[in-house]
């Protein structure tokens, strides 16, 4: 059995490979070739976070991710998201690998945003506005940079100004792109592609902030009660989710649905259906499109399988493996 640390998973996972794996996983989902129960939440009211159990089967691999989400962890110099993945042989149930899932979570979520941009954003998109400058904003931009032919402008806003400036400096150097910190959500939202990665429980992006033709990756709302986009914005947008059931109770659409401000029938479909060409996404340069990402276990498992296969092919890891 392989036991892999975060450092080892980082050395075995590249964004271009993750993008291909995630796109393939979405296609299999649309074709009904995966098994993925909705994620199970363990809410602990006494504490400032929750745990989630995410099992799935995809393409001959089965496993589960156990992940915690504690937004205030940054005050203790800890990641707000921490995860462990167990990958098993579906024929016998034997555990093949136990690995850190924190980096995988960040990479596969970023890749999902990249796939959404590939299929839903305007082909001539060249400007990106980031609202939230944490770890997920990094992998979102990394993935988008792989699918956009030319990025001319990147703006970033975070309520913590120092984080915005650090993000602009670090990611600008990493991607050789000029990134400009801005003072308001409105400034960041004035872009071809807008990415929201905040833990907000109140809408921060309003209808008047978004121009026609914009694509939005709504990433932050991943639990009941979270919301980043105003319902009036969703009412004029084409909404694409990663999973309808999961998004309905824990995605960007969960609050508007609970308040009867929209119906499930208002959802265009899943990203997998767009990838598999079952449904059409953007049909006009004026369309406002929204990808509501809640995070799918099939993406974790397909990436864990990729890491497991690469580790075995390499024949050695930086430290001794438990056989």
pLDDT, one tens digit for every residue, the chain (323 residues): 899 999 999 999 999 999 999 999 999 999 999 999 989 999 988 888 999 999 999 999 999 999 999 988 988 889 888 999 999 999 999 999 999 999 999 999 999 999 999 999 999 999 999 999 999 999 999 999 999 988 999 999 999 999 999 999 999 999 999 999 999 999 999 999 999 999 999 999 999 999 999 999 999 998 899 999 999 999 999 999 999 999 999 999 999 999 999 999 999 999 999 999 999 999 999 999 999 999 999 999 999 999 999 998 877 444 443 33
Query: 173 and 277 in one domain?
Result: yes
Residue 319 counted as domain residue: no
Residue 279 counted as domain residue: yes
- How confident is the model at residue 47, as a pLDDT? 87
Whether the Cβ atoms of residue 214 and residue 191 lie closer than 8 Å to each other: yes
- For 246, the domain range is 111-296
Query: 244 and 132 in one domain?
Result: yes
Query: 223 and 126 in one domain?
Result: yes
Q: Which two tokens stand for residue 123?
A: 């082909």
If one counts the domains in the chain, the total is 2
- How confident is the model at residue 19, as a pLDDT? 98
Phi, psi of 208 (to 5 degrees): -70, -15
- How confident is the model at residue 222, as a pLDDT? 87
Residue 269 counted as domain residue: yes
CATH number of the domain where residue 265 is located: 3.40.50.720
Query: 161 and 46 in one domain?
Result: no
Query: 219 and 126 in one domain?
Result: yes
Query: 211 and 62 in one domain?
Result: no
> How far is 99 from 104, CA to CA, in rounded Å?
9
With CA atoms as reference, report the closest residue to 238 among 295, 275, 198, 287. 287
Query: 163 and 34 in one domain?
Result: no
Query: 40 and 150 in one domain?
Result: no
With CA atoms as reference, report the closest residue to 155 among 139, 143, 141. 141
Residue 147 counted as domain residue: yes
CATH number of the domain where residue 73 is located: 3.30.1780.10
Query: 156 and 89 in one domain?
Result: no
Residue 321 counted as domain residue: no
Residue 322 counted as domain residue: no
Residue 223 counted as domain residue: yes
Task: Look at the pTM and tell me if it is higher than 0.75.
Answer: yes
Catalytic residue among 20, 27, 46, 65: 65
- How confident is the model at residue 71, as a pLDDT? 85
Whether the Cβ atoms of residue 153 and residue 191 lie closer than 8 Å to each other: yes
> How far is 128 from 110, CA to CA, in rounded Å?
14
Contacts of 121 (CB under 8 A, 6+ apart): 148, 192, 193, 215, 282, 289
Query: 267 and 198 in one domain?
Result: yes
161 catalytic per annotation: no
- How confident is the model at residue 1, as a pLDDT? 86
With CA atoms as reference, report the closest residue to 268 among 295, 227, 296, 234. 234
């Amino acid at each position: 059995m392989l036991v892999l640390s975060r450092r080892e998973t980082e050395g075995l996972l590249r964004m271009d490979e993750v993008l291909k794996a995630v796109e393939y996983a979405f296609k299999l989902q649309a074709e009904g070739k995966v098994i993925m129960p909705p994620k199970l939440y363990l809410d602990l009211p006494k504490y400032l976070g929750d745990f989630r159990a995410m099992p799935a089967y995809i393409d001959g691999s089965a496993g589960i991710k156990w992940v915690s989400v504690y937004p205030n962890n940054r005050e203790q110099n800890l990641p707000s998201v921490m995860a462990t993945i167990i990958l098993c042989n579906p024929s016998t149930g034997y555990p093949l690998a136990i690995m850190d899932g924190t980096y995988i979570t960040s990479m596969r979520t970023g890749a999902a945003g990249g796939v959404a941009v590939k299929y839903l954003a305007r082909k001539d998109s060249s400007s990106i506005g980031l609202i939230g400058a944490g770890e997920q904003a990094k992998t979102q931009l990394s993935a988008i940079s792989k699918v956009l032919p030319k990025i001319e402008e990147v703006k970033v806003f975070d309520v913590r100004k120092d984080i915005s400036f650090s993000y602009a400096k670090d990611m600008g150097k990493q991607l050789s792109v000029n990134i400009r910190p801005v003072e308001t959500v409105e400034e960041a939202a004035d872009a071809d592609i807008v990415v929201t990665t905040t833990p907000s429980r109140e809408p921060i992006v309003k209808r008047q902030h978004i121009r026609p033709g914009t694509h939005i990756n709504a990433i932050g709302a991943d639990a009941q009660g979270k919301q980043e986009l105003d319902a009036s914005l969703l009412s004029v947008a084409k909404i694409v989710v990663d999973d309808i059931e999961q998004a309905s109770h824990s995605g960007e659409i969960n609050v508007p649905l609970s308040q009867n401000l929209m119906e499930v029938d208002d959802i265009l479909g899943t990203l997998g259906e767009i990838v598999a060409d079952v449904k059409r996404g953007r049909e006009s340069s004026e369309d406002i499109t929204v990808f509501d990402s809640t995070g799918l276990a099939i993406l974790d498992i397909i990436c864990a399988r990729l890491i497991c296969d690469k580790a075995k092919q390499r024949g050695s890891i930086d430290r001794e493996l438990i056989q």
